[in-house]
């Protein structure tokens, strides 16, 4: 395996982790809109907490997909053909959620707003589950042919370990979103978000611990880096719970963000040096899936120029919309 192949695998991992951390609180907050918001005005305030940033967060997904296509085309082909139905459901859910955020305020009718609120809830919860299922399958292994093609069906993806990954990502994102809402709201809505965060944090700690133990138990010999990262994920989830109980909202949110990042990083560490692990047949290695050295060289130059610009722009966006959101008077 060449140095550039390793570099681009790491970059793709960073892009996916960035997406999961940032969209993780979007998904969690969106799924909780009808839980925390008791009135139209409160639900509008909840939407304003992540409304200005969700589209910027999705840039990470687009870039991760594009980078995978360019750097590891065989990985992209196997993933997007074998997981076609699951990825189609993910795309539909994202479209529904995003349209709901944009259309919610286009009419003042209660029925109109209620419909789009439910669209946001479903469109936030479903991707949270599907992403966990997908990465648990990619790292845990799926049936592959000798050519590295997916040899299973949609139902193959719904195995117990993958479903546990989906439940884990959903619960973790809900807790992550509740910490975000506690950090971004004020008044009665803030008090409600704090209470919910304190209830969800121990559940997130429990599922992250259980899934991490199961992941380590599935390995053919413990992968040291993966084990360390899984331990960090568990400790960070516990720290988020502890800080939420103390009322330290910023640190609780940081803990949940670290837990999301470390949990998925542990899966990536387990996956390396493969692009797709195999439960049957040979695994698809990164070297087999990679583009030509020249392609990777050009991509590296482009990434070195534009990545800092994207990060600066997104950082500026978060700075502009950093203040807490209040409920508009009825």
Quote the percentage of the chain above a pLDDT of 70: 99
Largest pairwise CA distance in the chain: 63
Q: With a cut of 80, say whether residue 328 has pLDDT above it.
A: no
Give the count of beta carbons closer than 10 Å to the beta carbon of residue 11: 18
Class of domain 3-320: mainly alpha
pTM above 0.75, yes or no: yes
* Paired residues of 278 in beta bridges: 142
Instruction: Give the model confidence (pLDDT) of 117-175 as tens digits.
Output: 999 999 999 999 999 999 999 999 999 998 889 998 889 999 999 999 999 999 999 99
Distance set, CA 220 to CA 100, 215, 223, 224, 250 (Å): 44, 11, 8, 12, 38
- Whole-number pLDDT of residue 322: 83
Which phi and psi angles does 158 have, rounded to 5°?
-95, 50
**Residue 273: is the preceding peptide bond cis (ω within 30°)?**
yes
The answer to whether residues 168 and 205 touch, using CB atoms and an 8 Å cutoff, is no
Residues in the chain: 330
Side-chain half-sphere exposure of 105, counting CA atoms within 13 A: 12
Which helix (DSSP H) or strand (DSSP E) does residue 175 occupy? helix 160-184
Report the candidate in 89, 21, 98, 9 with the shortest Cα–Cα distance to residue 60.
Answer: 21
Q: What is the mean pLDDT of residues 101-113?
A: 88
* Paired residues of 155 in beta bridges: none
Instruction: Give the model confidence (pLDDT) of 260-314 as tens digits.
Output: 999 999 999 999 999 999 989 899 999 999 999 999 999 999 888 888 888 898 8
Tokens standing for 35?
A: 């839980």
Query: For 243-259, b where at least 16 C-beta lie within 10 A, e where not — what string?
Result: bbeeeebebbbbbbbbb
What does the alpha-carbon distance between residue 136 and residue 270 come to, in Å, rounded to a whole number?
11
Q: With a cut of 90, say whether residue 80 has pLDDT above it.
A: no
What does the alpha-carbon distance between residue 326 and residue 317 come to, in Å, rounded to a whole number?
19
Q: What are the extents of the domains in the chain?
A: 3-320
Side-chain half-sphere exposure of 215, counting CA atoms within 13 A: 38
- Whole-number pLDDT of residue 323: 85
What does the alpha-carbon distance between residue 63 and residue 201 come to, in Å, rounded to a whole number?
31
Strands 142-143 and 278-280: parallel
What does the alpha-carbon distance between residue 255 and residue 233 come to, in Å, rounded to a whole number?
9
pLDDT averaged over every residue in the chain? 92
- Whole-number pLDDT of residue 330: 56
Distance set, CA 314 to CA 57, 67, 90, 254, 290 (Å): 8, 19, 24, 18, 29
Instruction: Give the model confidence (pLDDT) of 202-261 as tens digits.
Output: 999 999 999 999 999 998 888 899 999 999 999 999 999 999 999 999 999 999 999 999
> Where is pLDDT greater, at 328 or 2?
2
Tokens standing for 245?
A: 């109980």
- Whole-number pLDDT of residue 315: 87
């Amino acid at each position: 395996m060449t140095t550039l192949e390793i570099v681009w695998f790491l970059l793709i991992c960073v892009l996916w982790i960035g997406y999961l951390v940032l969209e993780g609180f979007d998904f969690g907050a969106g799924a909780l809109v009808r839980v925390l918001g008791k009135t139209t005005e409160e639900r509008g305030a909840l939407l304003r907490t992540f409304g200005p940033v969700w589209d910027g967060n999705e840039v990470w997904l687009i870039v991760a997909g594009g980078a995978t296509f360019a750097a590891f085309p065989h990985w992209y082909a196997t993933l997007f053909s074998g997981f076609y139905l699951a990825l189609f459901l993910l795309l539909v859910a994202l479209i529904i959620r995003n349209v709901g955020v944009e259309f919610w305020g286009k009419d003042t009718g209660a029925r109109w707003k209620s419909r789009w609120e439910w669209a946001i809830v479903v469109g936030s919860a479903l991707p949270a589950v599907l992403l966990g299922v997908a990465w648990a399958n990619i790292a845990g292994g799926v049936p592959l042919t000798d050519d590295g093609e997916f040899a299973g069906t949609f139902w193959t993806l719904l195995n117990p370990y993958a479903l546990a990954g989906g439940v884990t990502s959903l619960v973790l994102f809900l807790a992550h979103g509740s910490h975000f809402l506690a950090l971004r709201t004020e008044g009665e809505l803030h008090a409600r978000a704090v209470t919910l965060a304190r209830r969800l944090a121990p559940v997130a700690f429990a599922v992250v611990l259980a899934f991490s133990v199961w992941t380590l138990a599935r390995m053919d010999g413990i992968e040291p880096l993966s084990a360390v990262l899984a331990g960090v994920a568990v400790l960070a989830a516990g720290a988020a719970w502890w800080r939420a109980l103390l009322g330290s909202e910023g640190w609780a949110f940081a803990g949940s963000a670290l837990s999301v990042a470390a949990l998925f990083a542990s899966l990536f560490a387990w996956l390396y040096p493969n692009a797709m692990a195999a439960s049957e047949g040979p695994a698809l290695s990164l070297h087999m899936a990679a583009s030509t050295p020249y392609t990777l060289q050009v991509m590296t130059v482009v990434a070195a120029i534009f990545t800092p610009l994207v990060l600066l722009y997104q950082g500026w966006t978060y700075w502009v919309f950093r203040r807490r959101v209040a409920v508009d008077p009825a």
